[in-house]
């Protein structure tokens, strides 16, 4: 069995985002927090906490012909031999591989470590028509999407810490 997890960099940056959002919230306490700021701070901390938990516990298992995706929402599985369609969605920060059979589907995102290896495994286990659907997912594109995702997480951390520093200095 092969297990794929979300990349360490994404998990670490997501954890730092929790820390940054708490620092940001504390900075608002020192600058005089009213009702609306409390709500916004709670939403920011709650969202970053949920994002971290979601990334940390997400895993993809491949055993023989079966792909199993585990998330905080539950578990989905699909057999590679039963695939009828493979779709690819290219977003700014990630690529999403959609595996579907006649009854269900599984979304697999490029923030998984060794995502390129997983796409090659899928290509090697499906017919030529389905291989063509994912041909555009090459190592260079996947790496670019992963770097862009990491850059976004880093920028969000810098923004929250920078805003906190501003609040501490001017509060």
Query: 121-140: per-residue pLDDT in tens?
Result: 998 888 888 888 888 888 89
How far the first Cα of the chain sits from its last, in Å, is 54
Can you give the pLDDT at residue 6? 95
Q: Where are the beta strands (DSSP E) in the chain?
A: 2-5, 59-63, 66-71, 74-79, 85-90, 95-100, 105-109
Query: Comparing 8 with 130, which gets the higher pLDDT?
Result: 8
Position 32 confidence tier, pLDDT thresholds 50, 70, 90: confident
Segment 94-97 long-range contacts (CB within 8 Å, at least 24 positions apart): 94/145, 94/146, 94/148, 94/149, 95/137, 95/141, 95/142, 95/145, 97/122, 97/134, 97/137
Can you give the pLDDT at residue 29? 81
Can you give the pLDDT at residue 151? 94
Please determine, for residue 35, whether its predicted confidence score (pLDDT) is greater than 80: no
Can you give the pLDDT at residue 19? 96
Q: What is the pLDDT of residues 45-63, one digit of tens each?
A: 999 999 999 999 999 999 9
At which residue do the structure tokens 């590679």 appear? 80
- Per-domain boundaries in the chain: 2-170
Position 92 confidence tier, pLDDT thresholds 50, 70, 90: confident
Can you give the pLDDT at residue 33? 72
Please determine, for residue 171, whether its predicted confidence score (pLDDT) is greater than 80: no
Residue 96 to residue 136: CA distance in whole angstroms: 12
Mean model confidence pLDDT for the chain: 91
Q: Which of 156, 149, 148 is nearest to 20 (CA)?
A: 156
């Amino acid at each position: 069995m092969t297990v794929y997890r979300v990349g360490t960099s994404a998990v670490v940056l997501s954890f730092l985002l929790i820390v940054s959002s708490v620092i940001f919230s504390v900075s608002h306490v020192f600058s005089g927090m009213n009702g609306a700021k409390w709500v916004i701070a709670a939403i920011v901390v709650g969202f970053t906490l949920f994002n971290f938990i979601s990334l940390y516990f997400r895993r993809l298992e491949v055993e023989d012909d079966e792909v199993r995706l585990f998330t905080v929402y539950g578990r989905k599985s699909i057999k590679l031999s039963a695939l009828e369609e493979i779709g690819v969605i290219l977003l700014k920060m990630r690529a999403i591989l959609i595996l579907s059979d006649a009854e269900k589907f599984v979304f697999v995102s490029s923030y998984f470590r060794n995502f390129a290896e997983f796409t090659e495994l899928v290509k090697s286990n499906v017919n030529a028509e389905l291989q063509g659907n994912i041909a555009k997912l090459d190592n260079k594109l996947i790496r670019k999407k992963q770097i862009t995702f990491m850059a976004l997480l880093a920028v969000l951390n810098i923004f929250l810490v920078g805003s906190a520093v501003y609040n501490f200095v001017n509060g």
